[in-house]
Structure formats: structure tokens, C-alpha cells
Amino acid sequence: MKLSWSHAVMYVRDYEKMIDFYSQVLEFAVTDQGPINPSPGAPQIVFLSQEPEEHHQLAMIANRQDDSASNSINHFAFRVAEYESVTRLAVKLRGIEGIKVAPLCHGNTLSIYFNDPEGNGIEVFWDTPWHVPQPQGKRWDTSLSEQDALDWVESAYADEKGFVPREDYYAPRRQETRE
């Protein structure tokens, strides 16, 4: 059986604030919303997606009661196709009160980690052309140009055992899957 990821559902306290953050800052579109069931007082649910062929990638149910930060999931991770998407988002996030941004390079990705308004962890990352055995993590400078960032990654990780071009790592894994 091959599973493909579809969506995640979160419980939220401040429904409107969370919709605003995910739609305005992370550019998700609201695809549907309303009461989760027809019972009087049923909590609201909102569905959000960036993919036109996915009804929702995230959903939020407005029934979280506790005031503590979320602790059941470490973070949600989102891949972007362009390096500039990570660096532009880092700048955008730094202007939002209460949001903490931590740029972390794993060698195979250039990532930024941050929190949403209710403390849920989020990672947005861009793939580098290399594979680096994990776990790895070094702070990186989001103001670097794409080429300077790639040069930095290569110099920071090239001496790691197992540092190889991404394709060299994944080709044998794809072959194993076919067999």
C-alpha cells in the first residue's frame, strides 16, 4: 500500500486570527467553512488549501480550550519550489509580533522554523541539490543570495560522511522500491 499525504486538522482557540495568519501570511485559500455538524453550538471548521486539486491541506476546528502551546505535534513542514520564497517569508514573518523565526540548514534543505499565533510549529523549506545524513542543523543567513547560500551549504557540509548529490542518494532508493 502506498500512502500519499492529504491533510492535517488542528484544534484552534482564535479561529479568525488563525484563518488570517494562514491565509494572509502563508497564502492558503479558504475553500469551505461552517459548523462541523448541524447540532446547535457546534464548533466551526475551516478548510484551507494552496493546491487547486486538493479541497484542503489543512483544516481548523474552533474548539481548543487550553491556553498552553500545542504539544502533540512538533511542526508542520511545507516545501517551496523557489529559494526566494523562503527568504521573502523570513522577512515577512519578522514583522509579525509574537512570531519567532529560526533559520536552520539541514544540508539537504534550507529551512525556516517559526510558530503560528497559537504556538504550533511550522517549517518552510527549500531543497538543496545535496543529500546529507540526518540529523543535522546549522543556523544560516536568510539574507544570502541563492548562489551564496548554496556555496555556504556546500562548504558547511561537504566534509560530512554521506554528503552526495541528491540524485545519487535517491536513485538507489527508487530502484529498491521498483524491485
Mean pLDDT computed over 122-143: 94
- Enter the pTM of the model: 0.82
pLDDT at residue 140 above 70? yes
Average pLDDT, the chain: 90
Boundaries of every domain in the chain: 1-65, 73-179
Are 151 and 140 a contacting pair, CB within 8 Å? no
HSE of 102, CA atoms in CB hemisphere, 13 A: 12
Angle at 46 between CA 15 and CA 98, to 5 degrees: 35
What is the spatial distance between Cα 56 and Cα 129, in angstroms, rounded to a whole number? Answer: 30
123's CB contacts (< 8 A; 6+ apart) are: 75, 76, 77, 78, 111, 112, 113
Mean pLDDT computed over 52-75: 82
CATH of domain 1-65: 3.10.180.10
Please report which confidence band the pLDDT of residue 71 belongs to, taking 50, 70 and 90 as the band edges: low
- Domain 73-179 is of which CATH architecture? 2-Layer Sandwich (3.30)
